[in-house]
Every structure is written in structure tokens, then in C-alpha cells.
Amino acid sequence: MKDPVANGRAAAAAFGGAIAADPNFALAYARRSYFESYLQWYGVDRRGEVLAAAQSDAERALALQPDLGEAHLAMGYVHYWGHRAYDAALREFDLARASLPNNADAIAAIGYVRRRQGVATRGIPEMEQAMVLDPRDSTL
């Protein structure tokens, strides 16, 4: 199994290639933003430029496609992982969930934020639903 950090960097680079090929590819901006936020959260690269790039990519995805659930998910992670702004993150994750009602990642994100807010029991229904939707995800 590859190193998750290497995987995150490789994914961000691959989405960068997709963006170079099509600068209007909203989903590629959203996914790159997610991986940039991931690198920030896990302490791999805490430079301010990485968080700024994650935010810029999420904003670009939303500008290109305002109803794209993955773009709201990406912006939610900018707020959650990048700024620790939990209320803003929940608003974005709720928008993502509305667009992607069966997306385990969007649903679990809500549970993770509620846990961070010190209300872990309020996040249990989301975590249980995410496990039903994606039972092979070992991170849930």
C-alpha cells in the first residue's frame, strides 16, 4: 500500500493536470481542493499557500458550478480542516449532503464536525448512515 501522503500529493497533481486540460472542470478544482486541505490537516504541508490554494480551488469550483455537491464538500473541508470554523463547515457539508444525499463522505463529514464541537452523540446518526452507505470504508 502506498503512503497516504504520497497518494494525496499525486491526486492533487493529477487533478492539476485535469485542470490544465480543461480550466472549466469544476469537479477537478473541488477534488484538488480536498487533497490540498487534507495535506494541511494532517500536518504534511502547513504552509499558508496550501490552505490558500485549497480555498481558491473550492471557490473556483463553486463559481463554475454553484450546485456541485463536491464543491460544497471541498469548501466545507477548507473551513473544517483549514480554519477550524465548524459552523461554516457544517453549512457547506449540509449543502453537499442536499446535493449528494447518498454520499458517505458528505454525511460522515457532518458527524466528524459535530464530534469536534464536543457533541459526539449528535454525530452518531451520520456516522451510522455513512457506514451503511460505505461499509468498506475503514475510517468510519
Tens digit of each residue's pLDDT (9 = 90 or more) over 32-46: 999 889 888 776 666
pTM for the structure as a whole: 0.89
Q: Is the confidence at residue 10, as pLDDT, over 70?
A: yes
Instruction: Give the pLDDT mean for 70-86.
Output: 96
Of 19-28, 105-114, 120-129, the range with the lowest mean pLDDT is 120-129
Q: Are 119 and 88 in contact (CB under 8 A)?
A: no
Please tell me which residue, 52 or 41, carries the higher pLDDT value: 52
d(C-alpha 139, C-alpha 86), whole Å? 20
Report the pLDDT value the prediction gives residue 46, as an integer from 0 to 100. Answer: 66
The C-alpha cell that represents 71 in the structure block: 464543491
The C-alpha cell that represents 46 in the structure block: 502547513
Closest CA to 58 of 42, 45, 72, 39: 72
Closest CA to 73 of 54, 99, 92: 92
Please tell me which residue, 124 or 120, carries the higher pLDDT value: 124
Q: Is the confidence at residue 1, as pLDDT, over 50?
A: no
pLDDT-derived band at 94, boundaries 50, 70, 90: very high
